[in-house]
Structure 1
């Protein structure tokens, strides 16, 4: 709050939650929960948040941010990297690498909804697994 010649001005600053870092040309840019990337470039990400690679359009990054913002903090910080991995069948396909060594194939718009089953699927595994959330949910052992 500032006071200028008997008048006061209130300024509110809101800080959006950072949901990860976009990797673009070997630089990292914080991505907030609204899908806006920071203009500040870093040489490495900060904190224990995921790194996002190969996302090319602002509509992709906005959807990515929306999905990341829906995740529980434990799931968000459990993700190491997410790569856009479109194919001819699924243009919104992503590949997710978890900090625990597991891998996930998913579709971006349904990712957060299906990730709520991650801990249940992981608990049934005896080793490292690859989970496919594209259609339904199933896992195979990683080799």
Structure 2
């Protein structure tokens, strides 16, 4: 039942416990208790609205691999603090591999992305090598766990 609740809430987090209970075949109080238990266990946290980037004028998405020139704890903290202040950077992931960070950057078009790259990303503390991969299409959106 918990998995059915989680799957339904991932599709639409605005559902009430009453509406959700009808969909999964459980009483409204039992559904509400299960949702509360999932929140208390931090399996569920918050509700999000998914914005359409293209409808908002952000037609380009680029994944950046960023390798830091220096890798002390101070440079990691400085980089993370600075990169999270850039509004076009939608996701910052500290990764293991060829690059130290993977960023998801949105821009209005390629010239706007170039501006973000040159004026914001490349000037961040500790940035060494950068590799850009432009998103051509997104075939699969993240689904339920």
TM-score, normalisation: structure 1? 0.25
Q: Report the structure number with the largest CA radius of gyration.
A: 2
Query: Relative to total residues, which structure has the larger strand share, 1 or 2?
Result: 1
Query: Relative to total residues, which structure has the larger helix share, 1 or 2?
Result: 2
TM-score, normalisation: structure 2? 0.24
